[in-house]
Structure 1
């Protein structure tokens, strides 16, 4: 069986090396190359590859951010110059992680792992990807969402609030609403706490967007974002707001 591969890296020399190393792997057909995540999301939809050779540190959208919004089951081999938190996560061999500059033998080993999984019917490493993403220690500076076959970046300053939606969350921004497959707990832990507060089990709010608080019921309030947006504030949420804002 022939498997389709897509190379995603912003550096042309890095893409060339992967192309050269893949020549002898006749069961893998390179169906495309992309220099950034915006090109990649469209190519993945159109070309439907089985394998991604994916750089992590890229301008505009990182490799990890791209994987957050990919629905297709894929095998991913990371190729990156940065030896950080991801290396240990990928020692599980669910996916592989090539540290640049890597030699041909190391590349061949990674390709063989991917082929073994594909041939054995293991088509997705999404669970391991999500575990690694959730374990990232740093705070978010933006949020990547998919709109049709395009990527959109939500700047945190433009994010109004986040609403729980079963196994998803709805991101309410100044540019519209976007559904994302993440938990409220994830955003609680990864958004800057000085700017975002969980005011209710259903809401995390950008405190800079709150115009006022209005009494709603006994010991409860509404956070007024605008005349058409009023969010319930729990007792615990109210205490958090009082501790950080001048209400």
Structure 2
């Protein structure tokens, strides 16, 4: 049997080493032939080793993972790795492209491995990434939105000011966004999608298409007999539903 090979490219040492360790445990038949800290090194490694797979961080200084994938188009199957980036994830999902969200969890990696094995078994050609990469490149090179510090909401003839650190969650409510703290709530005339861009993704997690929750406000998560997940928050008696797309956040450690 021909040995399958891969390279890993990430400018951060710890995530790169963690991914290698997880791959070696979950897919011992896969040989990691090279690691790269920069896009240029990844490109050189792909040209030298001709791997079957490339795990590429999309945000690397200089030459990004997108640049590398574009330069080596069709030579290997690509799996992108990325820290939380809502625009990128939407584009990946729409294009049915494999990606791993950092910090990478084993279940998600196992799913990606299963898809890669299936593609190799069916001798599927590497996915055409051209249109997707154009869209991603445009989004990822755009200026990062300034972080929101306050939410202002009109309530009658009063303007309420909510410090962002006091907000427990946001939910879409038709043309408005509901903003909830432990003491109060209000509706703002701004779509949730625009608010997401100004939130710190390490502090606020998307758990549903229409729900963003502050991570440290989550007290516990429940999974019912059908496998559906919901979360309870500290300081408020309200349960929020978690969609299947985001249920992986609440896998046991």
Q: Give me the TM-score of the superposition, normalised by structure 1.
A: 0.52
Distance in structure 1 (CA, Å) of the matches to 2:21 and 2:77: 20
Structure 1: state its 5+ residue gaps. Answer: 142-247
Aligned equivalent of 2:200: none
Residue 80 of structure 1: which of 79, 82, 89 is its match?
A: 82
**Offset, 1:80:** 1.0
Number of aligned residue pairs: 139
**Offset, 1:71:** 4.0
Aligned equivalent of 1:19: 20
Residue 30 of structure 2: which of 10, 22, 28 is its match?
A: 28
Q: Deviations over 1:51-109 (max 9, x none)?
A: 01110111111111221211442111111113233323332675311111121111111
Aligned equivalent of 2:134: 134
Does 1:51 find its partner at 2:53?
A: yes
Aligned equivalent of 1:160: none
Aligned equivalent of 1:121: 123
Contact 1:73 1:123 in 2 (8 A): no
Aligned equivalent of 1:225: none
SS at match of 1:31: strand
Structure 2: state its 5+ residue gaps. Answer: 143-253
Distance in structure 1 (CA, Å) of the matches to 2:63 and 2:77: 19
Does 1:42 find its partner at 2:44?
A: yes
Distance in structure 1 (CA, Å) of the matches to 2:77 and 2:39: 17
Distance in structure 1 (CA, Å) of the matches to 2:139 and 2:100: 22
Distance in structure 2 (CA, Å) of the matches to 1:102 and 1:51: 17
Aligned equivalent of 1:60: 62
Contact 2:88 2:140 in 1 (8 A): no
SS at match of 2:11: coil
Distance in structure 2 (CA, Å) of the matches to 1:67 and 1:79: 12
Contact 1:75 1:95 in 2 (8 A): no
Q: Give me the TM-score of the superposition, normalised by structure 2.
A: 0.50
Aligned equivalent of 2:245: none
Contact 1:7 1:54 in 2 (8 A): yes
Task: Mark the CA change 1:55 to 1:138 in structure 2 (over 3 Å): closer, same or farther.
Answer: closer
4+ residue segments displaced more than 6 Å: none
Aligned equivalent of 2:218: none
SS at match of 1:58: coil
**Offset, 1:27:** 2.3
Distance in structure 2 (CA, Å) of the matches to 1:10 and 1:113: 25
